[in-house]
Structure 1
Amino acid sequence: MLLPACAAVTPDLPPEVVPIPEPQLDLAALRRAEAASKRHQLRILLASAERALANDRLTIPENDNAYSWYQQVMAIDEANAEAHWGVLQITERYLQLAEQAFSRGSQDKGELMLQRALSIAATVEQAESVRSRFKAQPSEREFLLATADLTVRNDIIAARLVELAQIAKKAQSRLLIVARNDAEGRWIYRKMREAVDGHRLRGNIDIGSVPRIVLLDLGVGGVKE
């Protein structure tokens, strides 16, 4: 008796696993996105720094001052030119504030402003230059003028000249105007003359490196700030 032929049995095989390719990272696109994010962050920080600088928030308050914002910029981009320029502007502003304080006889405030300038980027030579100009005035008749204010001819120096013109008028004193050039001297005289309209101010203009007003006929006990 013949047995029927056995059919070939194919063993069950697991289904073939086809690997799914991993998505390829577009490194160039990623770098572009990171660069764009960095630029955006820098723009925000620089805008905050510029607003603080414009409003004289130089190193205070703690969380919203120009120096802090510029430091954050340089933490991201150490060579950022705008941030380095801003730090120099903060330094110059403190030196200007020191001049203004010294010219009004406020020694303590002047020294404070110099110390802040030194803590930012001012050199010892810059601080000493300001300090030496205002440290000792030769005479009670001399009134030094802040060069930073005089250079831009702002409201601060204009108010100071009005004040000195009134003192000269009251004391009936002649003037000696020491200016860095003739045009500056004439501007000083014009502002003082306008302040005492109708009163003739008598005086001369000299050229010198340290701008000042000398009230020649003012006694040692004259009004001075």
Structure 2
Amino acid sequence: MSKNQVYFLFMALFLTGCQTNIAPSEQGEPRQEKVSEPDPKSASAELAPVINVPDMKKTTAISPEQIKSRAAKRLTLSLIAQGEDALSADRLLTPEDDNANLYFQAALGRDPGNFRAIQGIAAIVDVYTQWAWDAARSRDYIQSARYLEYARSVNPEDPVIVEMTSRVKDLKAKREHAAKVVSKKSEPKEPQVGQYFLPETLFSLSEDEIIAQIQPIIDEVAKTEQSIEIYWPNDKQARLIYQIINSRITAFRVRAMTYHRADYMVELKQD
């Protein structure tokens, strides 16, 4: 074998050995695994709370009848509110188009048995009956009767009206009876035989005037020697009358009885 052939053979072996040493080093390098990024959609899906959205197609629809009923209730409540405002302002029956009775009656027409409307009507009657009583106490019976009539126009079946009518009637009757009694007392009484009426203001007169008023009694007692009865509201004045009569009669001592009564009279009694 020639020298050149040996050289080329040696170089071929050398190159083959180098390739064999390099391959393991390439295969021995650690291989990095690829880490995948998290999917934003899947992460938010795991963290977000589950919300059930109602299906609008399955929601129950409000019927026209329900809509109409709700509107009617709102109107009734509005009428009652207007009635209560009018009541607080004493607009009971006037003005014609804006008064408490109008609103409450309209509310009852729409909703018979409505508690607030019934209470409103009763309140109007209470106001009128109280006004009727106040007028009667002031002796204005005509105005009292007018207020009671207004109350009847609101609710003629309210028992409060009957009760107040009776109270006003009784008050009027008692006053009329008392006036008749006073009138009878104020009428001058006709004296009977042996009765002598003296003025109530007897002791506001002068001494001579007092003696002049009592003198007819003195003369009659001196003549008949009768005892006397004195009817006078003031005991001291009654005793003074007796002393005047007895002092003017010297033949005997006058017998007398006094009575605490406002008759302003001296009466002679036969023993």
| TM-score of the two chains, using structure 1 as the length reference | 0.47
The TM-score with structure 2 as length reference comes to 0.39
Between Structure 1 and Structure 2, whose CA radius of gyration is higher? 2
Higher relative contact order (CA 8 A, sep 6+): 1
